[in-house]
Structure formats: structure tokens, C-alpha cells
Structure 1
Amino acid sequence: MYQAANERYDTMQYRRVGHSGLKLSAIGLGFWNNFGSVDALATQRDIVRQAFDLGITYFDLANNYGPEPGSAERNFGQLFAQDFRPYRDELVIASKAGFEMWPGPYGDWGSRKSIIASADQSLRRTGLDYFDIFYSHRADPDTPAEETALALDQLVHQGKALYVGISNYDAEQTAAIAAIFKDLHTPFIVEQPCYNMFNRKPETGVFPVLEKLGKGAVSYSSLAQGMLTNKYLHGIPADSRAQKATIPFLHPGVVKQTLTTIAALNDLAATRGQSLAQMALAWNLRQPALASVLIGASRPAQVIDNVQALANLDFTSTELAQIDAILAAQPKIDWQAQ
């Protein structure tokens, strides 16, 4: 029987989500990859246990995470039932709806029909009574924002979500739906954008909007799907995600364009006494709007390494200028992650 480490809260940092009362662990565990039906459940259990033992309390899911879609939630449900049910009130568990999940016109996007049905399915797969945060995973160009907002608001009133969030919304879309949530008195607290050293669009997009509105952010692809780690320092490994080329910016031809940049960033990280991944996570957390940065992991050792980023979050002006110069020399690439 799993018993969480007594010292799990000793070193983790917890950051308030905007002006809300909720705090998230500065490092959150994302279930986008490595938690599907193709991944060993025993390894998943080791990763999640290690994360919680280090004070990671924010677990980030979505209906379509796998592969196959839904399998990450089902696997989490098994782990929750076996290990984490006694710790439910110590956890912030999130899920999302908005990407294609089942055939037909109702298994995608942001209609009331799709969001409510998806949330119900996600609760059944995870075995939870409620989600702490439920997100609209992307803005729907064909559904009024009012409808999506009302669906999320309904989940709160039904006791299926404590807070709501949005993900992959641009600045204009964020401001528009935030105004609707304000009128509805919905506890909308967080936006989840793709943000990392290679994708800085939120700095001039959603981050200023969120700060103005008093909302928080959680970054996904915080390590650019492994590109901001030591994985690609010596080329593209045969077993790497880049070789699968399922995400455009991870195509081997694209990754090769970043190798010089990655090497330069790694050298700078070494002068700070950090790995490249640790520096990249610390760099993200310099943003005032960010409450948490999501990491992925294929083994527990990666969780341990990433959490050590919190030991050095400070940057000198010289270091920030050096990072800006390194990134400015990087060829222009579309870093859209989804």
C-alpha cells in the first residue's frame, strides 16, 4: 500500500493562480504523453508516486490523452483508486474537452453538448466525483463563446468542477470569454498556453491580458516536447519522439535547425549549475502570470531532475540578455504544439 513521503511539502513551491484563492505546485505533472494504453502501468505508477512524493499536487489530464484517446484518464483512474484516493483533498486534478474524442459531430470542439458529455465521460474514466479545474481545450470558431462559457458554468453548478479554465485561446478570445465568465460569476481562474523558450508568443499575447484580468496561467510544452533537455544535444536519438514526427515542430528536419541553439543554451545552463531542462523551467517561472509549469516524464528520474529547477529560479540581467541573444539567432519555426 502506497504511503506518501512525509517530507513531500518541504521543498516544493506553491504559487497562487491569479487573484484566486487556489495555489498550484510550481511544477505540475502533465499526462499528455507516456500515460496511455501503450505505456506500462507500473512505470506510470512510479512516475506519479515520485511526483507526489516531491510535492507535485497538480495533475493535468484531458479527455483525448493517450494513445488511445481516453486511456490516460482510465490509467489515472486506476492509480487514483489504488494509491491516491486517501490524498484526494491534497490534489488539484484537471481535465479538458475540445479536441476530437469520439466519432460524429458531438465529440469535438466546444458546444454545450460536447463539453457536458465529455466531462461526464472523463469523470467516469477517472473515478472522480469532480475535477478541481475543467478546461475548454481550444476555442471553437463555430460555437458562440457564450455557449462554451455556459457549459463550463453548468459544470460548476452541478458540482462537477470547482474552477474552470481555457487552453490555446489567443489574447482576444481570452478577453472575450473572460468577460462572459465575469457576468456569470463563474470561477474562471486560469489559461493554459503553450509556452517555452522556443515559443514566446504568450509574452505579448495572453500573459498581459491575464495579468490585467487577475487570472493565472499554466504552461504546457514547457520543455518543447523534450527539445529543451539533454535528449538532442548530440543529434536525434533513434528512439526519440522526433523520429515519430507526429508533431510538426518535432520533425527531424526541424529539430536539426535547433541543435546549435540547444547546445548554446546548455552551455549557459551549466554556468548556472543547472541542466538545460532545469534552466528552461526556471526561465518559464520568471513570468508573473505563471502559477505552474507542466512537465512530462517517461521515468521517475526525470521528475526528480525537473523539480530541482526550483533550487535556482533567479536570473541576472546578463543571463537573460544572453538567452535572448541565443534565441534571436534561432531560425523562425512554427512552434504550434497541438
Structure 2
Amino acid sequence: MNYSPSPSRYDAMVYRRCGVSGLKLPAISLGLWHNFGEDANHETKRAICREAFDCGITHFDLANNYGPPPGSAEEAFGEILKTDLKGYRNEIVISSKAGYGMWPGPYGEWGSRKYIISSCEDSLRRMGVDYVDIFYSHRFDPETPFEETMGALDSLVRQGKALYVGISSYNSDRTREAARILGEMGTPLLIHQPSYNMLNRWVERDGLKETLAELGVGSIAFTPLAQGMLTGKYLKGIPEGSRATQGKSLRPSMLNEKAIAHLNKLNEIAQARGQTLAQMAIAWVLRDEGITSALIGASRPEQVTDCVGAVANLEFSEDELKLIDDYAREEDINLWARSSDS
């Protein structure tokens, strides 16, 4: 059956300007990090993307290594672009990244010009598109000159392979340097993608939010739900088949008895706000407009629908924020601390 997007898809979503650029992003974006590899059902992937687009999510975030195996998420999304989303490319923002391991040998990861440009070309081929809207340096490379990495991003824009460029998991000082170098080249830094949620607040300790505001750079927070901890999934413990049992990116040790008790307290706060725990967690990330967009993942279309409901209430009272701080005790879950120098 042919897919026709909802005619009311733009009615409820909130769109925020990305820094000082002319580009607006939906307050909630869809990331294809998990659940879009070869180990996931393709019909489910299609349903997730259709539901996202119907809900006004216009931004689909990928990277060269998303899968498993690496590259398979981009291939899957490329198929969805050819089928369900055919004819809607101008309404969609596609982002991809390069930084993590993709192929053997000395040129298969990090931030060299050879790797970044080769990787972008591979990403375009896998998705079947002429350009991506945003291309990121996925992580800081301590052994490659900064000018080389930023110069590669600049070249991609000048070659028409990317419209904008971004960085991910760079700390505040590195972000300033990246913005300076790119600015001198004539390609502004559009966006930064850090990990950020109630239980992982390194961007606040680092001063990154203030730095981005000062530089006029947008932001999109990944893991706003703390790898699923800030959903209703773990309120009664660790269910069989959940991410915490799959050896992926959420250790069972993070979900000890005390942590689960705190999650239940947070859930009570969310209920008093008329929200699910996931909705409140996303709204918290988006509070005060310090973050442009929250990047969610989904294994079912219903999860997208639930997350999008967060935009109905993005305001918090001082009492609510204090209560959240009492129970959202920061755990050691910043899996990207080393690459962000945080």
C-alpha cells in the first residue's frame, strides 16, 4: 500500500532555529543508531519512519557506523527514501557522520581528510542521495591537525556533498576552536551533538550550553532517555529482552535497586505533569530552549508517538526542577566521556 503523509503533520510539532542559521529543526528528531541494522525487521523500520514523518519529525540522523553491521542503517534508510518517503526529500533533513571505525587499515576511522571525504561519499552512495543536509565529525581526533579535519568538512560543503557541518562530543574548548577554524574558512559551524539527559549532565559542567549560545551554534542532544533508563521500561526492574540484557550500551549494573527507586520517583513527578516519564525526560532536555532538538531512538512506532507528546508541555516550575534534581542523580553513564574530553 502506498504511503501518504498526514496532511496535518506540521500542526503540533515545534520547530526551533538552529543557532543563528536559517535552518529550523523539529524539537524532536529521529536517530537511527539502534534498531535500523540488519538485525531489525525492515517493515518495522518503515513504520517507524512513517510515524515520525506523520508526527512532524523532519530530521533523520544517521552515521556511517550505524547498524549492525556498519553502514546497514544508511542502506535501510536509503530504501525507505526510495519507497515511503519518495518525493519528500525537500521536506527532510538528513544528517550523517564520520569518526568511528568503518574499514581495516590506517584510513578507516578518526578525522583525516582521506577518511572523512571517503566516508561521506560512501554514505551518499548507501542512501542513494546527492547530498546530506548535515555532515558531522563524529568525534575529536587527537592525532590529526584540527585544520585538516575541519578543512575536510569545509570541502564537503564546497563540493555540494553537504549543506551544513557539525561536530559531536567535542568539549567546550574544542568546540570554540572548531567554530573559529570553520568560520575563517567561510563554512559556519551549524550544530553540536552531545550526549545529554537528566542522568548525564556533562554539558552543564563543561559549560558547553553557554558556549554554543555565545557562538550562535545549534545543538541536538542524543540519549535524552539515557539509553532507555528514563522510560517506563525499568520501573519494576530489568525486563527480559530489554537493552540492558542485550550487552549493547546499557549495563545492568546501572539499574540497581536505588536507581530504580529514583526512576519511580521521577515517574511520579511526570504523572503529576500529565506526562509519561519519557515525555518529561525529553521536555527537561528541551527546557529553556538551550537545546535545539532532542534525538530519540525507537524500536516501535508507538514509542515515536509517545516521545512526540513531550512538546505539548515543555515548561517546568522551579519546584519541579528541584524535585527532579533530588532524584535524577547523575550516574556514570556518559559512555562518550573520553571522546568529549569531559
Instruction: Determine if the TM-score, normalized by the shorter chain, exceeds 0.5.
Output: yes
Aligned residues: 334
1:166-195 CA distance string (max 9 Å, x none): 001111111111110110111321000000
TM-superposed deviation, 1:121: 0.2
1:19 deviates by 0.6
What residue number does 1:255 align with? 255
Q: Give the aligned partner of residue 153 of structure 2.
A: 152
**Aligned counterpart in structure 2 of residue 212 of structure 1, from 210, 214, 231:** 214
Secondary structure of the corresponding residue to residue 287 of structure 2: coil
Q: Is the 8 A contact 1:35 1:44 kept in 2?
A: yes
Residues of 2 paired with 1:125 and 1:133: CA distance? 16
Residue 239 (str. 1) matches residue 241 (str. 2) = yes
SS at match of 1:286: helix
Matched with 2:227 is 225
CA distance in 2, matches of 1:162, 1:187: 11
Higher mean C-alpha displacement, 145-154 vs 236-245: 236-245
Going from structure 1 to structure 2, the CA distance change for 1:277 and 1:332 (only over 3 Å counts) comes to closer
Question: For residues 33-67 of structure 1, what are the alpha-carbon distances to aligned partners after superposition, in whole Å with 9 as ceiling and x for unaligned?
Answer: 00001100000000000000010001000000001
Q: Deviations over 1:267-315 (max 9, x none)?
A: 1101001000000000000143311101111111111111001111111
Aligned residue for 1:275?
276
Tell me which residue corresponds to 2:170.
169
Distance 1:252 1:236 in 2: 8
Greater Cα shift, 41-50 or 179-188? 179-188
Partners of 1:331 and 1:62 lie apart in 2 by 27
Q: For residues 334 and 163 of structure 2, what CA distance do their matches in structure 1 show?
A: 32
Alignment partner, residue 124 of structure 1: 125
Gap runs ≥5 in structure 2 = 338-342
Deviations 1:221-275 (A, max 9, x none): 110111100010000011011112332xx21112225212211100110100100
Q: Contact between 1:60 and 1:93, CA under 8 Å: does it hold in 2?
A: yes
Distance 1:7 1:130, change over 3 A: same
Once residues 233 and 326 of structure 1 are traced to their aligned partners in structure 2, the CA distance between those partners, rounded to angstroms, is: 14
Contact 1:215 1:289 in 2 (8 A): no
For residue 28 of structure 1, what is the aligned residue in structure 2? 29
C-alpha separation in 2, matches of 1:62 and 1:154 = 19
Match for residue 340 of structure 2?
none
Give the corresponding residue for 2:91.
90
Report what 1:105 is aligned to.
Answer: 106
Q: Secondary structure at the match of 1:85?
A: coil
- Contact 2:198 2:330 (8 Å CA) reproduced: no
Letter in 1 for 2:245: Q
Deviations 1:114-163 (A, max 9, x none): 00000000000000110000000000010011000000000000000000
TM-score normalised according to structure 1 size: 0.97
Aligned sequence identity (%):
54
Q: Distance in 1 between matches of 2:333 and 2:242?
A: 20
1:15 aligns with 16
Aligned to 1:333: 332
The answer as to whether partners of 1:162 and 1:187 remain within 8 angstroms in 2 is: no
Q: Is the 8 A contact 2:199 2:333 kept in 1?
A: no
Structure 1, 20-29 or 258-267: larger mean CA deviation: 258-267
Q: What secondary structure, in the 3-state scheme, does the structure 2 residue paired with 1:129 have?
A: coil
1:189 partner amino acid = L
- Quote the residue 1:71 is aligned against: 72
- Residues 78 and 127 in structure 2, CA contact (< 8 A), matched pair in contact too: yes
Structure 1 residue 7, shift from structure 2 partner = 0.6
1:289 match: 290
Cα distance, 1:332 vs structure 2: 4.5
Deviation of residue 335 (structure 1)? 2.3
Displaced runs of 4 or more, over 4 A: none
Is contact 1:231–1:237 with CA below 8 Å preserved after alignment? yes
Summarize the Cα distance change of 1:150–1:37 in structure 2 as closer, same or farther, 3 Å threshold: same
SS of structure 1 residue aligned to 2:101: coil
SS in 1 for 2:284: helix
Q: CA deviation at 1:208?
A: 1.1
Say which SS state the counterpart of residue 266 (structure 2) adopts.
helix
Contact 1:133 1:162 survives alignment (8 Å): yes
| Contact persistence 1:59–1:93 (CA under 8 A) | yes
Q: What is the distance in 1 between the residues matched to 2:190 and 2:8?
A: 29
Letter in 2 for 1:222: P
Contact 1:18 1:289 in 2 (8 A): no
Where 1:50 maps in the other structure, the secondary structure is helix
Q: Which residue identity does 1:315 align to in structure 2?
A: F
Give the drift of 1:331.
6.7
User: Hey, what's the Cα distance between the residues in 1 that align with 2:98 and 2:294?
Assistant: 20
